Amino acid sequence: MPGFEIFGEEERKQVNDVLETGVLMRYGFDGMRNNHWKAKEFETQFAARMESKYCQLVSSGTSALTIALASAGIGAGDEVIMPTFTFVASFESIMMIGAVPVLVDVDDTLTLSPSAVESAITPKTRCVMPVHMCGSMADLNALKTICERHNLILLEDACQALGGTYNGKPLGSIGDLGCFSFDYVKTITCGEGGGVITNNSDYAINADQYQDHGHDHHGNDRGAETHPTLGYNFRISELNAAVGVAQLQKLDAILEIQKRNYTIMRTALEQVEGITFRRVPEGGVESYSFLNFFLPSESLAKKGHKALSENGVDACFYWYDNNWHYIHGWEHLRNLTSLGKMPQEIKNQLQDLNQMDFSKSDAWISRTISSLIKIAWTEEEVKERAQKMVASLQKILTA
């Protein structure tokens, strides 16, 4: 991760197919296309790769989450349970449709704690949204059992975990719906883009219509299409989809390199007393896009992160102080700072996030350091990086 590290002739060829026709929009202009339908091609191939019946390609991972929620009939006042450690898109997508995000603790998987989810369920809960952060997954068996018991939608946000599996199935394909991001820093990229997968034909139809102003997409005359429902413009362009078509063919190679680089670094860090690693649920296989490890305390994690930077180890993240990925940095959410009036349901139902006790999340996230796994590194560069990491962290831990 990320796919932009290996742009090449394959992407240029796919993009040139589109540029030569002049048709950058995914719908219409059939006679001008020279039979190039890049979004449709990507959708077909990605659905097959994800072992799902349907894929809807859209403009971003954020829009994918919004579309998935809307396609399942979730709307104003419905509560969606999400983790404290994620990206701001999680609550943005929920609030976009007037639904209410309910934040709960993560555990040692760095993803949703099933016991915290169970405790947060109310009569207004409609959906549980695990976010497979940094390449690994939630305890999906436990979450699926909870959802079935309470008749809830299970929506997997697999934006950071493309290529990971759980009990042999691709992440994103286990819940009722799964969402992916293909932005510039994801495992494969369209530049900007996202996708929704599902095996539910009703959800697939709803997603197809919702992302394109409610168009039914029947026939080949766009002007004659009807609008069974309201929607928005969350379409992807043919140019973005074209990049994705080429990138998808490189996914296996990307995952193989990520696993190699991850394994070298993890094997080295396993020798350092005091370092432990996130728990991967039984049956789970990471995508190896990040190496995530714990130091014994918050203070040591901060010192360790600083030492890594000072010793030339880049692309390491300390999420606890990050403005984008942890509840501590979401002041705009905690204070409901908005350009316009917020829906009354959100104002009435949102937790008082300035007063909530997320100490169980703090206990994990405050001790976590994550190293991005780049695919452009040579094997020798990875070994050198691993040695620097070991030396930097050993010095902190034995001081």
- What's the pLDDT at 209? 98
Among residues 186, 302, 303, 374, the one annotated as catalytic is 186
In the chain, CATH 3.40.640.10 covers 3-250
Which tokens sit at 130?
């695990």
**DSSP run (H or E) holding 54:** strand 54-58
186 is catalytic: yes
Which has the closest alpha carbon to 207: 71, 72, 75, 74? 71
In the chain, CATH 3.90.1150.10 covers 252-397
**DSSP run (H or E) holding 89:** helix 89-96
CB 39 within 8 A of CB 225: no
- What's the pLDDT at 107? 98
**DSSP run (H or E) holding 309:** helix 298-310
The CATH class of the 3-250 domain is alpha beta
Q: What's the CATH code, domain 252-397?
A: 3.90.1150.10
DSSP-based helix, strand, coil % in the chain, nearest 5: 45, 15, 40
- What's the pLDDT at 396? 95
Instruction: Kindly provide the residue ranges of all beta strands, DSSP E only, lying in 74-227, ordered along the sequence.
Output: 79-83, 100-104, 125-128, 153-157, 165-166, 169-170, 177-181, 194-198
Strands 165-166 and 100-104: unpaired
Positions in the chain whose pLDDT score sits under 70: 1
Residue type, 256: E
Residue type, 66: T
